[in-house]
Amino acid sequence: MDDLRLESLEGVGPVTSKKLSDAGVHNILDLVVRGPVDVSEITGMDIDTAVNIVNKARKQLIEDGKLEKEFVTATEIYKRRQDIGKISTGTNALDTLFDGGIETQAVTEVYGEFGSGKTQLCHTMCVNVQKPKEEGGLDGGVLYIDTENTFRPERIVSIAKAKGLDPEKVLERIIVAKAYNSAHQELILQEAGPVIEENKIKLIVVDSAVGLFRAEFLGRGTLSVRQQRLNKFMHLLTRTSEVYNIAALATNQVQSSPDTFFGDPTRPIGGNVVAHSSTYRVYFKKSGKKRIARMVDSPHHPEQEVLFTVTEAGVADPEEETKKKKKELEE
Ligand code: GTP
Ligand code: MG
């Protein structure tokens, strides 16, 4: 196995290594995820030394083939993109929108009004990711960062049952972390490295990514601090998804009523910061009993809209619902 120990790096002795692991940086993967600013803060070393050490760690990961080189040909990028895993949503509609499913090495941000199905999608993906590859999953576990206290194991059970999976086994592979404030939310992600490896995590859910930041940093005066902190969190999420080759699914609410007089009421909270660090952005909207999903911002998906619905089985195609109703009526 490749040497991932912190002390395998020149310039990292036992003292530094202890300080780092106390702060959740357990190996050189974590070191690269956190970056030089954090490393310098944790260890007290000056920033230049920290940059040096993080660069060495990065170099070693590149040599081990765990990380992409700085300068690569398009052919290599193309090859690496073949390694990207996709988790099917279990619906034709959303899979079409996502071009096969929710991708690893990327953050997918879903934003939309209350009740538009964001949390339901998160629950559905918790089950789908556990399926074998042939069935659209990645045979992986889940880290669910719950900031709004809306994670419901009962929903997981009903979705798993509907998909023919053993609910007990499915529950066992979902690690739930409740975040009590934005600093705690950040801390959970900072310390996620070992959890990801131990539990073969292939999906990180953050529901919601911005809620706590919004609640804590109210008013114009604190807006820039909020954006900075949120920015840091989203970048950490992006790096985690890339370094560990896992999918990240983050939700976001839309601006609430006081703002709707001015401008677009469906603008996501967190504005540009979240937009720039998430790779894919999808907008969910209620339309009667159905839901509309629109791909808003993607480097390679066409901008399009699809219709889906929420059922006992999680997110579903609208036709499925109609078929089921028809069958029930016939019986
Ligand atoms: P906020 O977190 O409030 O911003 O909303 P959200 O977008 O996360 O909404 P959520 O995913 O919680 O969607 C809630 C909606 O899903 C409900 O209004 C129901 O319409 C639907 N729903 C949730 N559970 C079930 C279920 O077991 N069966 C069916 N048929 N629908 C469900
Ligand atoms: Mg929700």
Q: What is the CATH number of the domain that holds 104?
A: 3.40.50.300
pLDDT-derived band at 272, boundaries 50, 70, 90: low
Atom 10 (ligand 1) nearest CA: 117
Q: Whose CA is nearest to atom 2 of ligand 1?
A: 114
Please check whether residue 79 lies inside any domain of the structure. no
Q: Hey, whose CA ends up nearest to atom 29 of ligand 1?
A: 311
CA of 118 to the centre of ligand 2 (A): 5
In ligand 1, the atom with minimum distance to the C-alpha of 115 is 9
Provide the domain count of the chain: 2
Which pLDDT does position 1 carry in this prediction? 46
Would you say 36 and 50 are in contact if contact means Cβ atoms under 8 Å apart? yes
- Residue 283 pLDDT level (bands cut at 50, 70, 90): very high
Predicted confidence at residue 176, as pLDDT, reads 98
Calculate mean pLDDT across residues 264-278: 67
Q: What is the pLDDT of residues 151-190, one digit of tens each?
A: 999 999 999 999 999 999 999 999 999 999 999 999 999 9
Query: Is the residue at 77 inside a domain?
Result: no
pTM to 2 decimal places? 0.85
| pLDDT band for position 273 (cuts 50, 70, 90) | low
- Bin 296: left if φ > 0, else alpha if -120 < ψ < 50, else beta: alpha
Range with lowest mean pLDDT among 29-43, 91-105, 212-226, 228-242: 212-226
Q: Kindly state whether residue 76 falls inside one of the protein's structural domains.
A: no
- 36 with 96, same domain: the answer is no
Distance, CA of 53 to CA of 68 (rounded, Å): 18
Statement to judge: residues 94 and 124 lie in one domain: yes
Round to whole Å and give the CA distance between 16 and 311. 51
Residue 11 structural domain: 2-63
> Is residue 69 included in any domain, yes or no?
no
**What is the rounded average pLDDT of the residues 228-249?**
92
Ligand with minimal distance to 121 CA: 1
> How many A from CA of 207 to the centre of ligand 2?
7
In a domain, 331, yes or no: no
Please give the Cα distance from 206 to 182 (Å, whole number): 12
Domain assignment present for 80: no
Rounded to the nearest integer, the mean pLDDT of the chain is 89
